[in-house]
Each structure stands twice: as structure tokens, then as C-alpha cells.
Amino acid sequence: MGRRSAEFSITDPTGSQTSSGCSSGNSSDLVDFPPPSQSVHLNHIPVHQSIYHQPPPIYPNLPTHQSSLVDPSLLFTQQIIDRRAAQLAASHHAAILLQHEMALVSHPASTGQSMFKDASKRVPVVPIQQSMPQQPTVSHHVNQAILSAAHGASYAVPFPSAVDSQPDRPIGYGAFGVVWSVTDPRSGKRLALKKMPNVFQNLASCKRVFREIKMLASFKHDNVLCLADIIQPQNPAFFQELYVLTELMQSDLHKIIVSPQALTVDHVKVFVYQILRGLKYLHSANILHRDIKPGNLLVNSNCCLKICDFGLARIWDSRERPTMTHEVVTQYYRAPELLMGARKYTDAVDVWSVGCIFAELMGRRILFQAAGPIEQLNMIIDLMGTPSMDDMKMACDGARSHVMRQPKKKPKTKEAMLSISNQMSDLAVDLLQKLLTFNPDDRMTVQDALNHPYISDGRMRFHSCMCSCCSTLPSGQRQFHPNLEPHHEEPFNPIWERELSRCSMFDLRDKLYSFVVDRHHKLQMEQNHVPLVINPNSAAYKNFTSSSVAQPSELPPSPNQWD
């Protein structure tokens, strides 16, 4: 059966384009791929089979042609797509602007029309990293770059690429920082440099920044954004800003969902699998993310996904269930217990968010989109029926009274979920119902979701060619790691969160500075790490140092105050 690729331009209903996280925002094409063979199992599979199980790559608007199956060895070369065409496609995407917390907006040069007549035809499946100029190398004029090596440090300068390197530029003016796309002079790779101004403006800001940096530094996982580097402050007593480097991603799920690009069930499965895989890692570290939404799920052109933005994340103790604020999670993805004022909630709040995103990927629209928190709760009850008193045991008295005053409603879950999309199968509905269970104690866990049969195809596609944990043997067989969904190696001790709550602003400044210095020293001893500094001779230095944002409230809009 023939398949087609559709242009992937990224525009939200308001006319702008938003996402959250360290994404560069290039528009691309999302290409379909053959269905999986029913006989393939998760043990050893040949390389040519693993290619056919590859998730759908995202391509730029390149000239394409119909093609029969190509020798798999050719699929890994850089010669399949002409370099000049790739450069033309790169010039098609310009003017990048971020809004809100690292939210990306991309403005293509055209108005959504394909650059080439044959752009709807399929191209051979190749590793997209080799066909898109997404990781330009070190600038030809080092003194133009914002980042440079510390004085006296020496390192091997990367060999320049034939592709013109991009200049350092701002890509985001967010709620808690300014984000620039910069070049790492040590490797030539593009990174996201987040400038965090006014870190010590208030105690809440100090705690948030220190918690987020500690988390980022501990992450080593394919599906979680991790810390690349931190620039060491020069003065331990007077520094007010922090500069954090992370991987620069290409897009996010929000931009894909609101684009005209077709999404197949196979796309959805590989995305949902990666979200669950990353969440399992976070929950095993005793971390609640508390803001899972499409804009915080970054993706690259090969459909690899990373969870980002840990500004609302919290270390918690599953045994004690500490009291926490319910003013978390973007409203559309907020679990009913949070909407009803619960303060002793669990990691089930993240699972609910995954269910909302799953439905949104299938239906290409937000599942519960209400004007306010009470309307949001009413929409959930309209679908799932009036909850029992046991279902509302975590809710505050005011919220329970509100629900009990309303006319009793019967659930219409299965029928409504089947109507989300014509791609919704019985297995998909079963998974969605279990992710969106009203009672958090009955809601499925992340591990339960990973064990669900609907996810198995996504697991196969991810581990056949996308992950870093599995490998291909010289014989051409794919060797799978015995632990496909690993835990965090060193989970956070919940005591650390309690100690953090007792720190003053001066204590946190000293702890933060010591953490950065100790990390640099350890990396220098173990990896001959070359420290970076902000280059005052850079052409962009003036703009970089003057770029700043006002610090808003540390929390999202407050839910309804029931009591």
C-alpha cells in the first residue's frame, strides 16, 4: 500500500508556534514507514529488519522520488540525499523566536506550501541526522561565539564542516530565563544555553533552580534531558546569574500535534512508549515531574523523545506521601485529585497527564479543554461519570461538596474514547481507560502501562534502532539489553528535599556554588574537562548580557480555591 508524507509546518491555533524546552524549531516532514513483521521478537533480529522497524523520521522539504527497497547498507550513508538540497531546505527555515518558558516558535519562509513539486512522494528511509544540517560545527570565527574555553585551557578544535555554521542567537525569552542556541567550541555541537537571571531574587527561585540543576546533573537516560555543562560563576559571593547548557532538540510534541502532518498509530506508539520509559526513570529516582505536557516533550527528527523542564518537579517519599502544593501541572493535563485540591498526591498525577497526551496524539485535539479548573473537573466527570466517595478521598471538602451537588452522571468512557479517532482500537481504549482512571489508587502505574500489549510495537521500534542501550553485532544481529527500561542509578533521598526546605537564601547560594565547583573539579580529574566561559569579545556579547526577563510567579495559575 502506498504511503505519503505531508509537509510538517508548526503553527498553533493562535497563529504562533509554541513549545517548551531546548528545541531549535526547524520545520520538517514526517515520513511513514512499513508495518512491523508479525514474526519479529525482542531477542536478536537482523539489521535489515531493524531498519524496517525504525520509527518514522522527520524530513525537511527535500525533492523526493518513489523508490523500491534499497540495500540496507546504503541507508546509513550520507550520499542518498544531495547536500545542496539539504542546504536549500535549511535556508527554508528562518527567524526563530521562543516565548514563555523556553517555548519555540518557527517561522518558515513559505506559507505552508511544499518547496518542491514532488515533496509528497516518499524518500528512502535514512538516519535523519545525516540529511539535516541540525548540528553545525564550530564557527569559522571563534571570537564571534558566545562560548569560549577558560583562559589557559587547551583543546582540539573540531574540523569545520562544509555546511555553514549557524551564528549564536537567542531562541527563547521565557518565564525563568533566556535561551540561546550556541556552539560548544570543544566539540562543534550546537547546544541550548539557558541564562537564568535573578536566581537569588527570592527563596522560591533559589530552591527551584538548585533542585532543577541537581536533577539535570543526575540524569543519564535516552528519554530525559540531561545537563551538558554549567558555567562556573566567577565570584562566589556576588553572582546573580547561572548559565546552564543542555542538548539542543529540534521540535516538541505540541508543535507536531498542531501541525497538518499526519500521525499514524505507529508514531503514537513510539512516542507514548518513550514518555512512559522516561517517566519510569524519573519515578524510580523519587521524582514527580508535575508538568507533563506536549510542550515539555522534546523530539528530534528521528522521533527520539526527551522529557524536559523540571521547574515544577519535586523529590518525594512514596511511603510518607508528604503534603505538597496542588498548584502544579498545566490545567488541561491536571489530574482530578489536583483539581479537587488534594495535597497528598502520588506519581499517579504524571500518569494522568500521559493519558491526556495519548488521547491528544490520537485525536489531534486537547481531550479536556476547559476555561477554568471547575469546568475542567466537570468535563472529566461528564466523560467518566460521577465519582464515588472513595474515588474522592484525597479531595478537599469543598470539592467533594461541589461534585455531590451536581446531578449524578453515568460514565460514557468507552464510546467517547472510540470516537476520538478512527485509529482507536480496543487495545488503545483499554490503555487509555486505565491511564485516565479517576481514583489515583486504581490508576495504572507507569510499569503497568509499559507492560500493556498496546505499547509492545513502540518498544520494538525504539530498541531496534533508536536507543543507546542496545547494539548491533558484527554478524548483523541486533542484541537487546537485558534491561530495556532502566531505573535511576542513584535515586534521590527524600531527606534531601526536607533539608532543602530548611535552607536560607544564603545557604542555597553557597550550596549551589559548591555544587558547580565540585562538579567541574570531578570532570577535570576524570575526563580532562575543559571549562567554558562567556566570551566578552563575542559580537553577540552585548545582546546576550542585556537579554533578560521579569520573574513572574513561581507557580502556574492557581486552581480553584475550594475552601
Residue 423 has pLDDT above 60, yes or no: yes
pLDDT tens, position by position, 503-556:
998 899 899 999 999 998 888 888 788 888 888 888 888 888 777 664 444 444
156-165 burial, b for 16+ CB within 10 Å, e for fewer?
eeeeeeebeb
Q: How far apart are CA 113 and CA 497, in angstroms?
A: 51
pLDDT value, residue 342: 86
Would you list the DSSP string of 451-520?
A: TSGGGHHHHHHHHHHT-SS-EE-TTSEEEPPS-SSPPPSSPPPHHHHHHHHT--HHHHHHHHHHHHHHHH
Give the model's confidence band at 146: pLDDT under 50 very low, under 70 low, under 90 confident, else very high.
Answer: confident
pLDDT value, residue 562: 62
Residue 158 has pLDDT above 80, yes or no: no
pLDDT value, residue 152: 53
Q: How far apart are CA 312 and CA 292, in angstroms?
A: 10
Q: How far apart are CA 551 and CA 541, in angstroms?
A: 22
Least confident of 20-34, 96-110, 403-417, 492-506: 96-110
Residues annotated in a binding site? 194
Q: How far apart are CA 70 and CA 154, in angstroms?
A: 45
pLDDT value, residue 81: 36
pLDDT value, residue 274: 98
pLDDT tens, position by position, 323-339:
787 788 889 999 999 99
Cβ atoms of 485 and 279 within 8 Å: the answer is: no
More confident residue, 273 or 90: 273
49-67 burial, b for 16+ CB within 10 Å, e for fewer?
bbbbbbbbbbbbbbbbeee
Residues annotated in a binding site for ATP? 194
Same fold, 142-249+503-546 and 253-448: no
Catalytic hit among 168, 291, 309, 391: 291
Residue 39 has pLDDT above 50, yes or no: no
Identify the CATH number of the domain defined by range 142-249+503-546.
3.30.200.20
Least confident of 163-172, 297-306, 372-381, 448-457: 163-172
pLDDT value, residue 164: 39
Residue 365 has pLDDT above 80, yes or no: yes
Residue 112 has pLDDT above 90, yes or no: no
Rounded average pLDDT over 286-290: 94
pLDDT tens, position by position, 469-510:
999 999 888 999 999 999 999 999 888 888 888 999 889 989
Q: How far apart are CA 198 and CA 130, in angstroms?
A: 40
Q: Say which DSSP state 112 is in.
A: S
Give the model's confidence band at 156: pLDDT under 50 very low, under 70 low, under 90 confident, else very high.
Answer: low
Least confident of 8-17, 241-250, 509-518, 540-549: 8-17
* Residue 170 CB contacts under 8 Å (≥ 6 apart), including other chains: 98, 178, 179, 180, 181, 543, 544, 547
Rounded average pLDDT over 433-453: 96
Q: How far apart are CA 261 and CA 30, in angstroms?
A: 7
Percent of the chain with pLDDT strictly greater than 70: 68
CA 9, 51, 488: angle at the middle one, nearest 5? 80
More confident residue, 420 or 262: 420
What kind and span of H or E run contains 545? Answer: helix 541-546
What kind and span of H or E run contains 134? Answer: none
pLDDT value, residue 260: 86
**What's the pTM?**
0.75
State the angle between helix axes of 265-284 and 456-465 in degrees (0 to 180), rounded to the nearest 10. Answer: 80
- CB-CB neighbours of 407 under 10 Å: 5
Residue 326's nearest CA partner among 341, 309, 348 is 341
286 in the Ramachandran plot: left (φ > 0), alpha (ψ -120 to 50) or beta? Answer: left
pLDDT tens, position by position, 347-361:
999 999 999 999 999
Residue 131's φ and ψ, nearest 5 degrees, are: -115, -5
Half-sphere exposure for 250 (CA within 13 Å, toward CB): 28
- What is the rounded average pLDDT for all residues in the chain? 74
What kind and span of H or E run contains 201? Answer: none
Q: How far apart are CA 469 and CA 223, in angstroms?
A: 12
Give the model's confidence band at 174: pLDDT under 50 very low, under 70 low, under 90 confident, else very high.
Answer: low
pLDDT value, residue 552: 45
Q: Say which DSSP state 562 is in.
A: -
pLDDT value, residue 261: 82
pLDDT value, residue 111: 28
Q: Is the domain defined by 253-448 classed in CATH 3.40.50.300?
A: no
Cβ atoms of 236 and 513 within 8 Å: the answer is: yes
Cell numbers given for 46: 537482523
Domain segments of the chain as ranges:
142-249+503-546, 253-448
Rounded average pLDDT over 173-194: 83
Torsion of CA 34, 39, 42, 43, to 10 degrees: -120
Residue 165 has pLDDT above 90, yes or no: no
CA 100, 103, 104: angle at the middle one, nearest 5? 140
Half-sphere exposure for 144 (CA within 13 Å, toward CB): 9
State the angle between helix axes of 203-218 and 494-501 in degrees (0 to 180), rounded to the nearest 10. Answer: 160
Cβ atoms of 116 and 131 within 8 Å: the answer is: no
Handedness of CA 317, 322, 325, 330 (dihedral sign): positive
Give the model's confidence band at 24: pLDDT under 50 very low, under 70 low, under 90 confident, else very high.
Answer: low
Helix-strand-coil split of the chain, %, nearest 5: 35, 15, 55
Q: 3-state class of 8 per DSSP?
A: coil
Q: How far apart are CA 187 and CA 165, in angstroms?
A: 13
pLDDT value, residue 87: 36
Q: Say which DSSP state 233 is in.
A: P
What's the first-to-final CA gap in the chain, in angstroms? 59
Rounded average pLDDT over 164-189: 78
Pairing of strands 242-247, 29-30: unpaired
pLDDT value, residue 181: 87
Active site residue 448: no
Give the model's confidence band at 28: pLDDT under 50 very low, under 70 low, under 90 confident, else very high.
Answer: very low
Residue 418 has pLDDT above 60, yes or no: yes
Would you list the DSSP string of 248-310?
A: -BSEEHHHHHTSS----HHHHHHHHHHHHHHHHHHHHTTEE-----GGGEEE-TT--EEE---
Least confident of 64-78, 169-183, 484-498, 528-542: 64-78
More confident residue, 129 or 509: 509
